[in-house]
Amino acid sequence: MKVAVVGATGLVGTKMLQVLAERNFPVTELFPVASEKSIGKEVDYKGKKYKVISAEDAIAVKPDVAIFSAGGSTSLELAPKFAAAGITVIDNSSAWRMDATKKLIVPEINADALTSDDKIIANPNCSTIQMVVALNPLHKKFIIKRIVVSTYQSVTGTGVKAVAQLMNERKGIDGEMAYKYQIDMNAIPQIDVFLDNGYTKEEMKMVNETRKIMRDDSIRVTATAVRIPVMGGHSESVNVEFEKDFDLADIKKILSEAPGVVVVDDPLTQKYPMPKDAHEKDDVFVGRLRRDETQPNTLNMWIVSDNLRKGAATNAVQIAEYLLEKGLL
């Protein structure tokens, strides 16, 4: 397998290289790609140094798959060029997610939609991925009517600059600001830009992507996305209304048997998922499972996952693994 990683020097790109190595994806040749200013720099993969090359040079060597984490505008420009050369692109940006001609894939849910004709495959938003991994097995049995979600998102979702801002503020050092406001000792109820309807782009991503991944446009979703001063993972408070009634024991059983889900839910011993425990893990952790006592057929739950792993790099590598397993690469 000849593999290109586009955006290899960034926070997610670095994580993609780590995940490819950890999962022993059969990389025979690796081509790290980054912006012009990074060409010639070296990245580490399985203890070996690889020089960063340009996108043009990567296309010329025709890798089997190119995993992108280089931002939306870069993906819009470069992904079609890779695809035109017969290279399968798995893109981590928002560029292609809501394109009707492109598949938006979470392997545990809808990888069966993929064919050899899919040359640009979209990797969903990090906060959407962890939510749908937990909700889809419940949707199959109880049918989701409405989701109310509030997210508490790690600074790593913004990138290196945001991590530096948090660490600088913690040490009392002036530095470059990733956010308009202080993030340490604070919570910022804005992720991405505001849209005409008063919601942010991040919030509307969760609305639209959830329906597309779960293949059900009737699901109503409303979201509030908040950035908090943590690293390690995103957390979500989710209130989900079903068409059918449920038993909490049944909910726990379904979730504990669902692929990629770990139930951590024991109020008596104060056990529940936290971002520090999800850090560097590929699972989606679910806890605080309880009935909403204000209306029927409604569940409250708390969902936590490492946004750089299952929320980005791991999900992309899992898509590549599926394509390879099914002979689609």
Active-site residue numbers? 126, 234
Cα distance between residue 259 and residue 111, in whole Å:
13
- For Cα atoms 316, 321, 323, give the angle at the middle one, nearest 5 degrees: 95
H runs (alpha helix) in the chain: 11-22, 55-60, 72-84, 107-110, 126-142, 160-171, 201-213, 248-257, 275-278, 314-325
Could you tell me if 305 and 278 are in contact, meaning their C-beta atoms sit under 8 angstroms apart? yes
Which residues, 6 or more positions from 327, have their beta carbon under 8 angstroms from its beta carbon? none
Residue 160, token pair as written in the block: 């290196």
Q: Who's near 294: CB < 8 A, 6+ residues apart?
A: none
Q: In whole angstroms, what is the distance from residue 325 CA to residue 329 CA? A: 9
- The DSSP output letter for 113 is G
Taking the C-alpha atoms of residue 232 and residue 153, their distance in angstroms, rounded to an integer, is: 9
CA distances from 204 to 127, 155, 245 (A): 11, 19, 28
